[in-house]
Structure 1
């Protein structure tokens, strides 16, 4: 069901490609880096099997829905910038990105997010797009705000090992309370 036109995109500064097995080592290095998990240390990949499972989930999204996360690379030298995109989560698109720490602060998250939003809307504009982040992650919060997303929920982060963690939900449109409940579940 994947749309080949969405599997490989270019933005001004990024090459976005549907991930495959050749990306495993780079993606594992990214997800194993404690610096990129400073806001949620428990999410860090400590085993290659975690990254394989993540890639299998992404592949299923591409196969079943026609869109999921891309590997983002520098088109000039192929260097990994990060991973991100929109993945369908039932009645909403989940906007996600994780960047190599050397790419922070250069606007790549916003560039990747804008491409993802465009692709998700191309497939089904009736489905809301959600950015789900921790309150103390100021960088992600700024990206959501710059994208024009509105804060639709703020509350405890269920299941987070940090009992004081606060989860923020931003969306590209108002969400019904029951949808917010499902996002937070």
Structure 2
């Protein structure tokens, strides 16, 4: 009997237009200046549910279940403010942790657990810290202080509203926006 094939997915908020392009420019800047290209493998996003495996032959079930998720407080207002770091390697655009955003993440995690038996274990362990990664774990520890010094005093402030959640799918090379709900 053949083993079932699995794909990788995660759920996120993805800005449109100008903000998406600005954050992509930060990712390209980190790649060029600090040789950290890992963040370029996904569009700018705020992760709501960590990556999970799902059987390819049950993909329609996943999509159908996700269409059932309801959140009453759309649109969610998002504020990006400055840069921050997860030492010793990660650089990100900081997202202001608002009550509606925290509630959205919690309600989505609860829904995923109930409807699909999927757990957001990483947030259970560390708590939800919304951010948009621009320098990833491939950033060398020796170069991290230089990247931190470069970004820590830069000003960046953007506000936008978002009314949908994106399901991203890994194609073997990078994460692609696959479906919006």
The verdict on a shared fold, with TM-score over 0.5 as the criterion, is no
Normalising by structure 2, report the TM-score. 0.28
Q: Which has the higher relative contact order, 1 or 2, with Cα contacts under 8 A spaced 6 or more apart?
A: 2
The structure in which a higher percent of residues are helix is 1
